[in-house]
Amino acid sequence: MTDNTLRDVENKVIIISGSQRGVGLATAKRLASGGAKVVIADLPGLDMTDSAAQVAQYGEVAHSSVDIADENSVKALMEFTLDTYGRIDALDNNAARQGIMEDADVLNMDVDLWDSVFAVNARGTMLMCKHAIAAMLKSGGGSIINISSGTAIAGHLYQTAYACSKGAINTLTKYVATQYGEQGIRCNTISLGLIKTERLAETMPLPMQEMFINHKLIPRLGKPEDIAEMVAFLASDRSVWITGQTYCVDGGIQAKGSQVSDERRMMRDMGVGIGS
Ligand SMILES: NC(=O)c1ccc[n+]([C@@H]2O[C@H](COP(=O)([O-])OP(=O)(O)OC[C@H]3O[C@@H](n4cnc5c(N)ncnc54)[C@H](O)[C@@H]3O)[C@@H](O)[C@H]2O)c1
């Protein structure tokens, strides 16, 4: 983690779903070091004690469990947070079902798989918003950050259910921002590019990772800390006038024309350099 002394979320109570590892855990460390009271939660049955101990090295943390697809479980997480810290200032909707090899193209789509991915990513994210909003309205507002993916912005060859469920999240952000802005609730999306996490190492072969790097304007994979910084900004009062937006934190992959990597190679072959 970057050595960050910025106390930008001092005393804010922030829930991070899906935070046993990966991007969620890195975000929890960043927010704790920024002064927040962090609630980390992941699927029932997962041991959160080691993750909580890691976050505790940076600041205040409590841990619980949640299955975001289950409304009673979501309600219980909100009640745990209110009992522990008295209010909810921000919610980082980070949990997702992803990296499923069977998540295929449309012709080969298994309907049960489609439904189960939507139950977590679309319904689950909506349920977390629903019950966090109820608490935030009582304390004068808050900030919701929905974690989405570049796969929802343009078509890809596989991961169809995952990508479409993230598209639903992109739209949900605008609805939450529109419906509760007057009451002080902001909602924004962070659209991630490929991030180097434990899960990625388990699921994506190196040549495929390299192919993605080749298409980034900043030629490396993302780090979980790159995302954590954006979550901190959107949770903090530094972003008080920002709502309903989608931020691509992706090394610039969505900003360039799709032909640019080939174009760069061809220009080099012709001896025409850019920036040299
Ligand atoms: N890593 C990437 O390259 C990448 C790219 C684009 C978007 N994202 C998004 O970033 C977020 C974090 O991903 P990550 O790479 O750290 O992956 P990860 O799989 O390590 O983390 C996701 C977490 O969500 C939890 N989770 C799954 N279903 C849940 C449920 N029903 N209730 C509660 N928790 C549940 C998992 O247990 C896991 O800990 C996800 O929303 C993911 O879609 C990641």
pLDDT score, position 203: 84
Res. 37 pLDDT band, cuts 50 70 90: very high
With CA atoms as reference, report the closest residue to 71 among 118, 124, 116.
Answer: 124
pLDDT score, position 1: 52
CATH class label, 13-203+223-256? alpha beta
Q: Which one is catalytic: 162, 175, 180, 247? A: 162
Q: Does ligand 1 have an atom closer than 6 angstroms to the CB of 185?
A: no
- Is 91:128 a contact under the CB 8 Å cutoff? yes
pLDDT above 80: residue 273: no
Q: Is 162 in the active site?
A: yes
- Ramachandran region, residue 96 (left: φ > 0; alpha: ψ -120 to 50; beta: rest): beta
Other beta carbons less than 10 A from residue 105's beta carbon = 11
pLDDT score, position 162: 98
pLDDT above 60: residue 44: yes
pLDDT score, position 16: 99
Write out the two tokens for 253: 């992959």
Distance CA 99, CA 101 (A): 6
Distance CA 9, CA 12 (A): 6
- Average pLDDT of span 243-271: 92
CA dihedral sign of residues 79, 82, 84, 88 = positive
**Ligand 1 midpoint to CA 275 (Å):** 37
With CA atoms as reference, report the closest residue to 91 among 74, 70, 111.
Answer: 74
**Ligand 1 midpoint to CA 98 (Å):** 6
For the chain, the distance separating the N- and C-terminal CA atoms, rounded to the nearest angstrom, is 33
Lowest mean pLDDT among 98-107, 122-131, 168-177: 98-107
**Ligand 1 midpoint to CA 30 (Å):** 17
Q: Does ligand 1 have an atom closer than 6 angstroms to the CB of 195?
A: yes
Enumerate the domain spans of the chain: 13-203+223-256
